[in-house]
Amino acid sequence: MSPSPDSPVVVAARRTWIGTAGHGLADLGAADLAAPVLGAALADLPAGHGLDVADVALGNCTGPGGNLARVAVLGATLLDPAGPLTEQVPGVTIDRQCGSGLAAILLAAHGVRAGEADLVLAGGVESPSTAPLRSRRPRRGSAASPVPYDRAPFTPPEYDDPDMGTAADALARAHGIGRERQDAHAARSHARALAAHAEGRFDAEAVAVGNLARDERARPLDLAVLARLPSAFTPGGTVTAGNASPISDGAAVVAIVPERERARLGVPGLRLVGGVTRGCDPRLPGWGPVPAVRGLLARTGRTTDDLAAIELVEAFAAQVLAFTDALSLPDDDPRLCADGGALALGHPWGASGAVSVVRLFSRLVRAGAPAGSLGLAAAAVGGGLGVAGLFEVVR
């Protein structure tokens, strides 16, 4: 069956190289990271496409506040005063924690499907290196000093508000996921990323910003060395610095148009088949992608056997393995993060879900997968959520 003329289709997808926080991209703020990626995604459209950008939606978790997407639009306008991004283009910033980038893409696609926009840019950005310090204001009249804190709460205190690392340890215990499997998955993710770098599979999607010429994190991992690393979050836990993703800086953006415009332009793309967001036990947020993906597959009448590519945000090896066990996928499924995931590339929280869609675009559209090939993107979210999107190649 032919897709509807109003079906939202990703026709361009770009990201920065991903830097480890405090290193290669440490001097660039979130808007500075996003602005050149917005321009690069637009530059990938055919010359003379004749489409005006209706809006820009960016996910972000820890930025300076305010409407970061609008700041990035204006930054892109300054970078290219004669370009398609002008002062008339608005922007909206979305916070769904680690699912923000994918959530921004799904929400922007709704506007395209509703006929309210013929071109939107959506994605995410994160710069923990430049994120502001947070503190709670003392009560009025109190002589106390402001109290600093690391992050906004994921839950009310009655749910214990676990950090994601602590929650990953709890998920591993609850589902019997041992240390050896987690370390093996981390080593496999890094090996896949190193192979992809060596073969240039990231080059077409990457936008050079700062001083980075590749993703900063990926490296050869020795299982014997991984086995000696101490628990990172809870005493006796199985999550370590080796099988957890690093805090990272980066941005990712996709361009979305309706199918009728994609056909007019004569370019291939990824049609959004459907998106689902589900809640789960907030004490085990890493479980979130499981109900989201199950619901998405049921709604669209597909199964995991139908998928050509899967991109799950690899925040922790434990949550990846809980996902593969729940969906009866092998640990080394070649469809899952085939070029490595966030464990190896880095995890810029608000951007990572959008990085997953960029990766699907490269793996399926740029690589020449046939029309009808399906790709799945999914992420777990602090507070107990899962976000998932199903995409189909159209040519």
Active site residues: 98, 347
Q: Are strands 147-149 and 120-126 parallel, antiparallel or unpaired?
A: unpaired
Residue 198 is inside which H or E element, if any? helix 179-198
H-state helical runs in 84-178: 100-113, 164-174
Rounded-to-integer distance, Cα 77 and Cα 210, Å:
19
Please state whether 115 falls in left (phi above 0), alpha (psi between -120 and 50) or beta: left
Q: Which of 189, 197, 192, 198 is nearest to 226 (CA)?
A: 189
What are the residue ranges of helices labelled H in 7-163?
30-43, 68-79, 100-113
Can you read off the two tokens belonging to residue 84? Answer: 């398609």
Structure tokens at 108: 């922007």
C-alpha distance from residue 117 to each of 16, 78, 92, 254 (Å): 26, 24, 14, 15
d(CA 341, CA 190): 8
Coil vs helix vs strand at 315: coil
Angstrom distance (rounded) from CA 203 to CA 45 = 17
Strands 8-16, 307-312: pairing is unpaired
Question: Two tokens at 172?
Answer: 């591993």
* Contact by Cβ (8 Å): 196, 362: no
As given in the structure block, the two tokens for residue 341 are: 């995931």
